[in-house]
């Protein structure tokens, strides 16, 4: 595994590489976490082991796959490809994935002079290739796209269960969708005002993401760090959460088109803080996991045997 410590010192940090690439897309008016093909692909980016990437790696590798036209969700290191009998084709470019390493450092107190252990966290990176860049891998690393696209009004069993089990108070009225923090309720236009039921369900997922951040639940607050951009940053977290839910539940995500005004604030914030998008991805992952646990969809048997899950 090639660590960022082995890279030349004049190269940008992993955080800067990822943030700058996302900034380029935002400045072009494209939100890189909103991919119209994602629900059809049915998967997050996957490691060689089949484990799903989480947090910023998920959104980053989604963006890379779209930019480079990769259809496989599978990513692996050079050594992992070799161990599987594969060979990275000559001239193929690797991408970074990141991980965080915790370590303990002894620190002297400026007041007492005593030495204590301080827990710290550092970002590291390693290089991965998409399965589409590798020859001779087992066939399951190259899944074929489905030839039949389900009707836009057809919801997956997981989506139906998510809607049924979500304990949020939901009102259907008016022509706007929003989460009312004071009333702790979600308001959506009537279902018949949406072009498709799937679009309605996806909008519900977005507002459920906001709902998850209430003080009684995840208590998601950004005021101290993000100041006057905190509201827009919460919108970013909700949008990214909705994309994770969309990939899992088979819901469209390209319908999210009414938040373009926030792009300017996201660009400004990411230019000021290269780790901001990492925070957003982490909070989105947290909200996604919370909502799956709440709706009892966090277990493999959640859809296959819903009665057992409810017991």
Mean pLDDT over the full length of the chain: 83
Query: Of 150, 212, 206, which is closest to residue 176 (Cα–Cα)?
Result: 206
Structure tokens at 139: 């066939």
| Cβ-count burial 173-199 (b if 16+ within 10 Å, e if not) | eeeebebeeeeeebbbeeeeebebbbb
Task: Evaluate if residue 304 carries a pLDDT over 90.
Answer: no
Sorted by where each begins, the domain ranges of the chain are 1-149, 151-311
pLDDT > 90: what percent of the chain?
A: 51
Q: What's the average model confidence in pLDDT over 144-162?
A: 73
Pick 133 or 34 by higher pLDDT: 133
- Per-residue pLDDT of 116-131, as tens digits, reads 666 667 889 999 999 9
Q: What's the average model confidence in pLDDT over 143-169?
A: 80
pLDDT > 70: what percent of the chain?
A: 77
Q: How confident is the model at residue 182 (pLDDT cuts 50, 70, 90)?
A: very high
Task: Evaluate if residue 201 carries a pLDDT over 90.
Answer: yes
Residue 59 to residue 18: CA distance in whole angstroms: 10
Q: What's the average model confidence in pLDDT over 186-193?
A: 94
- Per-residue pLDDT of 14-67, as tens digits, reads 889 999 999 998 888 888 877 654 443 457 899 999 999 999 999 999 999 988
Reduced to 3 states (helix: H, G, I; strand: E, B; else coil), residue 212 is helix
What's the burial of 162, exposed, middle or buried (CB within 10 Å: 0-12/13-18/19+)? buried
């Amino acid at each position: 595994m090639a660590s960022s410590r082995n890279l030349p010192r004049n190269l940008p940090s992993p955080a800067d590489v990822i943030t700058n690439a996302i900034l380029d897309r935002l400045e072009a008016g494209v939100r890189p976490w909103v991919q119209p093909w994602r629900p059809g692909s049915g998967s997050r980016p996957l490691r060689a082991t089949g484990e799903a990437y989480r947090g910023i790696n998920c959104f980053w590798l989604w963006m890379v796959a779209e930019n480079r036209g990769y259809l496989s969700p599978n990513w692996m290191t050079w050594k992992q490809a070799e161990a599987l009998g594969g060979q990275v084709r000559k001239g193929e470019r690797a991408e970074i994935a990141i991980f965080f390493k915790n370590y303990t450092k002894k620190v002297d107190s400026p007041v007492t002079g005593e030495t204590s252990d301080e827990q710290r966290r550092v970002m590291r990176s390693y290089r991965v290739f998409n399965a589409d860049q590798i020859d001779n891998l087992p066939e399951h690393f190259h899944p074929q796209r489905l030839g039949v696209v389900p009707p836009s009004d057809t919801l997956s069993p997981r989506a139906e269960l998510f809607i049924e089990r979500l304990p949020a108070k939901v009102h259907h009225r008016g022509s706007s969708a929003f989460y009312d923090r004071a009333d702790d309720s979600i308001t959506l236009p009537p279902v018949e005002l949406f072009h498709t039921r799937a679009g309605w369900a996806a909008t519900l997922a977005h507002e459920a993401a906001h709902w998850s951040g209430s003080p009684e639940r995840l208590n998601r607050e950004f005021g101290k760090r993000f100041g006057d951009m905190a509201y827009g940053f919460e919108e970013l977290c909700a949008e990214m959460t909705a994309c994770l839910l969309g990939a899992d539940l088979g819901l469209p995500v390209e319908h999210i088109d009414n938040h373009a005004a926030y792009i300017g604030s996201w660009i400004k914030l990411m230019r000021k803080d290269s780790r901001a998008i990492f925070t957003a991805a982490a909070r989105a992952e947290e909200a996604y996991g919370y909502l799956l646990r709440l709706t009892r969809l966090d277990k493999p048997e959640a859809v296959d045997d819903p009665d057992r899950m409810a017991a």
